[in-house]
């Protein structure tokens, strides 16, 4: 597959999280729509109110089947507004949908909803996960019975309002030469419904062996994803306001991770987001851009392209087509 394929031509879907369940590829995106809310740094224009799930058996030809709505903000007992990025994990016959949502005080938390099937519907838990904050949950099944959630996002994602897993009086952004605000990682409880421990910082080291600084154009911003390739842990993420998808590699799920490079150069539209999955012997990058909406950053379209590694496990950079 040489050119990326848009997967849902008749609707706007973003932040695709792709997984293989029962031999089929499932994609869990955010569902963008035109809410009329003006664009701002707080992300109010991303006013999503439900999720759909898609499945694919023929990725090369880009045919995605829509299984309809799997969760609606109206059915979530603690909901305020804005269903942002989500992810799904499978354990012991159940599927767990982890989602970002603001509560009634406009504070983001991470919620869980459970289903017997990958295509839902998903039944939400009455409360958010205890101790959860910020956005963009993404879950790694480490294959040894342990599941790890990576999460967090700056600006509208509110991560700058937390330190040592406690809410601050007000947001703090580090100086440009200080370590960047990191993503977080936490092992999930056996029942998959809570954190099993205090979240830890995901440290990304630069070439000099020091943590990447807040002023670095490749610092973490949001959209964490973790996949394993040849026994190594590949942590990938969006740099937000500098618009790259980057990755760093480590030897265990907690890191530290050493910066490797850019996966995707900027796309059309402000946000860039992704997931990486192996299916039928090939690796794919699911991502989004705003080309079909004529550049409206809150109306994004998901797409897929094959991902290539070199013999040293380095990912070949893909051109996003934006600036
Ligand atoms: O879709 C809303 C937010 O935009 C996501 O949670 C972020 O990662 C960014 O893609």
Mean pLDDT on 25-29 = 98
What is the per-residue pLDDT across 140-181, written as a single tens digit (0 to 9) for each? 999 999 999 999 999 999 999 999 999 999 999 999 999 999
Signed CA dihedral, 253, 255, 260, 262: sign only: positive
What ligand 1 atom has the least distance to the C-alpha of 238?
A: 8
- The catalytic residues are 15, 222
Starting from the edge strand earliest in sequence, which strands make up the sheet with 50-56, in order? 12-21, 24-32, 50-56, 65-72
What pLDDT is stored for residue 60 in this prediction? 87
What pLDDT is stored for residue 31 in this prediction? 98
What pLDDT is stored for residue 63 in this prediction? 77
Mean pLDDT on 89-103 = 98
pLDDT band at residue 205 using 50, 70 and 90 as cut-offs:
very high
The pick from 14, 300, 301 for probing ligand 1's pocket by mutation, whose C-beta has the most ligand atoms within 8 angstroms, reads 14
**Which amino acid residue places its CA nearest to atom 4 of ligand 1?**
271
Q: For residue 61, is pLDDT > 90?
A: no
Residue 137 · residue 108 · CB < 8 Å: no
pLDDT band at residue 323 using 50, 70 and 90 as cut-offs:
confident
What pLDDT is stored for residue 232 in this prediction? 98
Residue 195 · residue 132 · CB < 8 Å: yes
Residue 6 burial (10 A CB sphere; 0-12, 13-18, 19+): middle
Q: How far is the CA of 244 from the centre of ligand 1 (A)?
A: 14
Give the lowest-confidence range in 55-64, 178-187, 304-313: 55-64
Sort strands 184-187 and 147-151 into parallel, antiparallel or unpaired: antiparallel
Cβ(201) – ligand 1 distance below 6 Å: no
**pTM score:** 0.98
The pick from 12, 42, 222, 236 for probing ligand 1's pocket by mutation, whose C-beta has the most ligand atoms within 8 angstroms, reads 222
Starting from the edge strand earliest in sequence, which strands make up the sheet with 200-201, in order? 138-141, 147-151, 184-187, 200-201
Q: Considering the chain, what percentage of its residues have pLDDT values greater than 90?
A: 96
| Three-class secondary structure of residue 160 per DSSP | helix
Q: How far is the CA of 234 from the centre of ligand 1 (A)?
A: 20
What pLDDT is stored for residue 62 in this prediction? 80
Mean pLDDT on 182-191 = 98
Cβ(87) – ligand 1 distance below 6 Å: no
pLDDT band at residue 241 using 50, 70 and 90 as cut-offs:
very high
What ligand 1 atom has the least distance to the C-alpha of 222?
A: 8
Sort strands 147-151 and 138-141 into parallel, antiparallel or unpaired: antiparallel
Q: For residue 4, is pLDDT > 80?
A: no
Cα–Cα distance for residue pair 276/283, rounded to 1 Å: 7
Q: For residue 196, is pLDDT > 80?
A: yes
What pLDDT is stored for residue 73 in this prediction? 98
Cβ(158) – ligand 1 distance below 6 Å: no
CB neighbourhood size of 254 (10 A): 16
What is the per-residue pLDDT across 256-302, written as a single tens digit (0 to 9) for each? 999 999 999 999 999 999 999 999 999 999 999 999 999 999 999 99
Mean pLDDT on 10-15 = 97
**Which amino acid residue places its CA nearest to atom 2 of ligand 1?**
84
Q: How far is the CA of 239 from the centre of ligand 1 (A)?
A: 12
Cα–Cα distance for residue pair 285/50, rounded to 1 Å: 24
Cβ(15) – ligand 1 distance below 6 Å: yes
What pLDDT is stored for residue 124 in this prediction? 98
Distance of CA 150 to CAs 17, 95, 200, Å? 13, 18, 9
Q: For residue 202, is pLDDT > 80?
A: yes
Cβ(85) – ligand 1 distance below 6 Å: yes
- DSSP single-letter state for residue 130: T
Mean pLDDT on 97-109 = 98
Q: For residue 3, is pLDDT > 80?
A: no
What ligand 1 atom has the least distance to the C-alpha of 136?
A: 6
Cα–Cα distance for residue pair 133/31, rounded to 1 Å: 21
Cα–Cα distance for residue pair 317/272, rounded to 1 Å: 14
What pLDDT is stored for residue 128 in this prediction? 98
> What mean pLDDT value characterizes the chain?
97
Q: What is the CATH number of domain 7-222?
A: 2.115.10.20
């Amino acid at each position: 597959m040489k050119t990326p394929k848009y997967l849902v031509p008749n609707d706007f879907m973003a932040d695709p999280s792709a997984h293989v369940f029962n031999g089929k590829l499932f994609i869990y995106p955010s569902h963008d729509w035109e809410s009329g809310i003006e664009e701002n740094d707080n992300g109010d224009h991303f006013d999503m109110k439900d999720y759909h799930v898609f499945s694919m058996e023929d990725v090369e030809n880009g045919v995605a089947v829509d299984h309809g709505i799997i969760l609606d903000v109206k059915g979530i007992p603690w909901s305020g507004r804005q269903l942002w990025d989500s992810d799904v994990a499978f354990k012991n016959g159940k599927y767990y949908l982890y989602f970002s949502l603001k509560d009634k005080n406009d504070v983001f938390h991470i919620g869980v909803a459970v289903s017997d099937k990958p295509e839902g519907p998903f039944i939400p838990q009455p409360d958010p996960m205890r101790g959860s904050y910020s956005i963009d949950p993404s879950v790694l099944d480490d294959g040894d019975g342990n599941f790890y959630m990576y999460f967090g996002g700056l600006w509208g994602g509110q991560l700058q309002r937390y330190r040592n897993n406690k809410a601050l009086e007000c947001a703090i952004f580090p100086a440009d030469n200080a370590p960047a605000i990191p993503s977080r990682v936490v092992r999930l409880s056996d029942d998959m419904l809570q954190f099993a421990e205090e979240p830890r910082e995901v440290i990304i080291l630069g070439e000099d062996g020091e943590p990447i600084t807040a002023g670095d154009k490749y610092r973490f911003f949001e959209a964490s994803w973790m996949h394993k390739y040849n026994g190594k842990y590949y942590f990938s993420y969006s740099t937000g306001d500098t618009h790259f998808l980057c990755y760093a590699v480590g030897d265990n799920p907690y890191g530290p991770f050493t910066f490797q490079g850019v996966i995707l150069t900027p796309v059309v539209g402000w946000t860039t987001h992704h997931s990486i999955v192996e299916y039928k012997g090939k690796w794919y990058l699911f991502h989004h851009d705003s080309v079909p909406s004529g550049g409206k950053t809150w109306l994004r379209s998901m797409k897929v392209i094959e991902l290539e590694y070199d013999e040293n496990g380095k990912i070949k950079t893909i051109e996003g087509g934006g600036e």
